[in-house]
Amino acid sequence: MLQVLDKMGKSSEYGSSYESTVKSNFVSQEENVKAVVQKVQIGEADAGFVYLTDITSAVSDKVKIIEIPDTFNVIAEYPIALTKDSKHAQDAQAFVDYVLSTKGQATLTKYRFISVNS
């Protein structure tokens, strides 16, 4: 998520000192996003950078989500593909078909992933 701060620091809206100012207020840098969410949830940190998909239903009512403007946001990409020499090509294709189907996209959207149709 440091890419977000870098983008913001390069904009006239936030200014060149923005990134260093925000970083100077870091209380910790966690090993994984679950730890970041937990620190914010229990009040050991005021804020943290995580993907929207990391805010599960178990914690969504305990934290406030502040969306990053699209101009500065970093979108994670999760490609899906079949391998050439798959021993289970039909099963693999069925999985890809499901993920790309309306039902598969609804499942991904339910867990806050962005639909391929967005």
Confidence band of 105 (pLDDT split at 50, 70, 90) = very high
Encoded tokens for 50: 């995580």
Helices 89-100 and 102-110, axial angle in degrees (round to 10): 70
Query: How buried is 102 (Cβ within 10 angstroms: 0-12 exposed, 13-18 middle, 19+ buried)?
Result: exposed
CA distance 48 to 55: 11
* The pLDDT of residue 76: 86
Domain boundaries, the chain: 1-76, 78-118
* Conformational region of residue 112, where left means phi above 0, alpha means psi within -120 to 50, and beta covers everything else: left
pLDDT in tens, 20-74: 999 999 989 899 999 999 999 999 999 999 999 999 999 999 999 999 999 999 8
